[in-house]
Structure 1
Amino acid sequence: MKTKFFSTVLVATLFFFFSCGESTDVVESGTYEGTIKEVEASKTEIYVETDDDKTLELYFTDQTELTRDGSTVDFSELEEGMRVEVEVKKEGKRLDPISVKVLE
């Protein structure tokens, strides 16, 4: 009886754990506008929800240009809720951010 209970709890916990992950989309190379949904500073990563309801997972590289009002800004200035324009290059199932422009 205890084994069946613990097995059920384990399965439910694993299901919950895997269903909580970020669901992201891979789009074609191009430029998209949207809102920053999440900022992961330790990974220099942002999640952007586009105007057509896609979620883009973007890991910044040394080559990613980040600007605001035409000037380069630091990653630490990014915040959830900011409007951005992102230019991405599709590399397989990964999106490389070429540029991120803060619109607000």
Structure 2
Amino acid sequence: MFQEYRLQLSEQQNHYSEPIFYNKNNKQLNPRGLHKIFKETLDRAGLPSHRFSLHHLRHTFATLLLQENKDKVDLRTLQELLGHESLATTSMYTHIDFEQKKRAINSFLIGQK
């Protein structure tokens, strides 16, 4: 689907420094427009739109990208994808999830028996 969208863009729009997403008036999609689309999509999916934000989406993207692709995605790449100035900001996504903590504790307890 994204490839089809890219094929519809003009040559100028395919340049890396140009915006990728445009609104219905062929203007660059701004944060307010993206927020509206996000909330409408949640509503159509039957999800409580008041419970989710674009920040949640961004955080989930970064967390899952690292969890599912630890060997393929480094922190500097994630930093660039998220547009963070500081690597310290990006490093918050390297937290150990609950299941990893549980496995670590269980492995210790098993070794004690």
Interval of TM-score (by shorter of Structure 1 and Structure 2): under 0.3
More strand by share: 1
Q: Which has the higher contact order (CA 8 A, sep 6+)?
A: 1
Larger Cα Rg: Structure 1 or Structure 2?
A: 2
